[in-house]
Amino acid sequence: MSLNLNIYQTLAAAIVVYYVGVFLRVKISVLRKYCIPAPVVGGILFAIINCILYTQGIWKYEQDTIMQNICMMLFFTSVGYTASISLIKRGGVMVFKMAIVTTILIVFQNIIGSGLAMAFNLSPLLGLATASIPMVGGHGTAAAFGPLLESIGLDSGATIAVAAATFGLVAGGVIGGPIGEELVHKFHLVSSAESERFDPSFNAGTVSKLKAVAGNKERAENAIKIENKIGQTIDNYRFMNAMAHLFLAMGLGTLVSGFFSSIGLVFPGYIGSMIVAAIIRNIADFTHAYKIYQRESEVLGSLSLTVFLTCVLMSLKLWQLADLAIPLVVMLLSQALFMALFAYFIVFRAMGKDYEAAVMTSGVCGFGLGATPNAIANMTAMTELFGPAPTAFFVIPLIGSLIIDPVNASIITIFINIFH
């Protein structure tokens, strides 16, 4: 039996698969423990079922990729839209140091991956598919760069990258906590903070409003209710403006990507859009000529990532991995070992050798092998045991949301152009 879904049927199937993942995450605690997203749970389950049915000769499954590509472009454009130079500057020396450390991590992940692939007499592109693309980049970057690797000669590039990302997601959750805990015990570290994390939700405007009603309990309660209501309201005008910025960046970005291609560079299609979105954001930050709609763009990006990731995982051809089992296992275990050593000996010392540095070290294991939610989960587990670490909860999410993806994509692109 052959099943070939059109664009609308593919979207419907993706939604069903996503909610299967949501249901399984609710019912299976280990999935929540390691912060495995619902699209990954549902998508990989579908891919396993598809693999069984295909290898048994029962069916052949195909799906449309148009909406998948649009959602990919929209997600990465929203990532570029968050790349605010002024926000990064506010993070100070700690953010700068973490950015340098993370950049070094990305470079070495790609050196290790490509080196091991060549040691197995395989294409270095295979090594890149198990390096920073899935490790630091996670499933989103793996799903985006996988097809690009396939287009320049790596068979099953998307399947390899996404499988590696799944391994990294689990490994990052497994090694982060123990490493952080070992550092705390070995160096007798203690928390000196009074609160668990900085609360960015209380901006100057909110604080001034609450101060204005201080001393009057009823008025204060009403002010808080109004703030909560505003935070929960969907503003069509703001969402339309956010969409306008993102769609404009996507359109102009194709011209930028086309220019890169014309001079012989190999780039994923979304790079141009990320660059244009970052330009739109920073022009607004420095000139104040127009407003920025970051929260709305993040929501649009998150929704797009959910659809994109689910569709990609549904299309995986897991049967293509059989011949690469041994090299892949060696490469992935090597990446996990390197991450553990790098975090313990480099990250901890570079970030100050104190309690905050230990918590950040556990966080780096999370996003260095998986994703920012993994990092937050690792750090939360540590602070529940050993006390607050507000600096860590400021630096790691800032690095994970603003810096990681653009830097990783740039370094990956350099390596691809070296080996292609």
The three-state (H, E, C) secondary structure of the chain, written as one string:
CEEEECHHHHHHHHHHHHHHHHHHHHHCHHHHHCCCCHHHHHHHHHHHHHHHHHHCCCCEEEECCHHHHHHHHHHHHHHHHCCCHHHHHHCHHHHHHHHHHHHHHHHHHHHHHHHHHHHCCCCHHHHHCCCCCCCCCHHHHHHHHHHHHHHCCCCCHHHHHHHHHHHHHHHHHHHHHHHHHHHHHHCCCCCCCCCCCCCCCCCHHHHHHHHHCCCCHHHHHHHHHHHHHHHHCCCHHHHHHHHHHHHHHHHHHHHHHHHHHHCCCCCCCCHHHHHHHHHHHHHHHHHCCCCCCHHHHHHHHHHHHHHHHHHHHHCCCHHHHHHHHHHHHHHHHHHHHHHHHHHHHHHHHHCCCCHHHHHHHHHHHHHHHCCHHHHHHHHHHHHHHHCCCHHHHHHHHHHHHHHHHHHHHHHHHHHHHHHC
- Per-residue pLDDT at 375: 87
Residue 222: pLDDT over 80: no
Q: Answer whether residue 312 is part of any domain.
A: yes
Q: Answer whether residue 212 is part of any domain.
A: no
Q: Answer whether residue 266 is part of any domain.
A: no
- Per-residue pLDDT at 119: 96
Phi, psi of 283 (to 5 degrees): -60, -45
- Per-residue pLDDT at 295: 86
Q: Answer whether residue 250 is part of any domain.
A: no
- Per-residue pLDDT at 9: 95
Confidence of residue 205 (pLDDT cuts 50, 70, 90): low
The rounded percent of the chain whose pLDDT value lies above 70 is 89
Q: Answer whether residue 191 is part of any domain.
A: yes
Report how far residue 337's alpha carbon sits from residue 335's, in angstroms, rounded to the nearest whole number: 5
- Per-residue pLDDT at 216: 55
Highest-confidence segment of 39-48, 107-116, 311-320: 107-116
For 264-311, what is each residue's pLDDT tens digit?
Answer: 777 777 888 988 999 999 999 999 999 999 889 988 988 998 898 899
Q: Answer whether residue 34 is part of any domain.
A: yes
Q: Answer whether residue 26 is part of any domain.
A: yes
Look at residues 247, 249, 248, 267 and name the one whose alpha carbon lies nearest to residue 257. Answer: 267
- Rounded to 10 deg, the angle between the 390-398 and 355-369 helix axes is 30
For 93-127, what is each residue's pLDDT tens digit?
Answer: 898 999 999 999 999 999 999 999 999 999 999 99
Q: Answer whether residue 247 is part of any domain.
A: no
Name which residue leads in pLDDT, 224 or 201: 224
Task: State the average pLDDT for the chain.
Answer: 86
Residue 220: pLDDT over 60: no
Confidence of residue 183 (pLDDT cuts 50, 70, 90): very high
Look at residues 316, 318, 313 and name the one whose alpha carbon lies nearest to residue 14. Answer: 313
- Per-residue pLDDT at 42: 92
- Per-residue pLDDT at 399: 87
Give the number of domains in the chain. Answer: 1
Sign of CA dihedral 69, 73, 74, 78: positive
Phi, psi of 3 (to 5 degrees): -120, 115
- Per-residue pLDDT at 201: 43
Q: Domain limits at 146? A: 2-203+271-419
Report how far residue 127's alpha carbon sits from residue 111's, in angstroms, rounded to the nearest whole number: 8
Report how far residue 164's alpha carbon sits from residue 273's, in angstroms, rounded to the nearest whole number: 26
Count of Cβ atoms closer than 10 Å to residue 217 Cβ: 9
* Over residues 76-103, mean pLDDT: 85
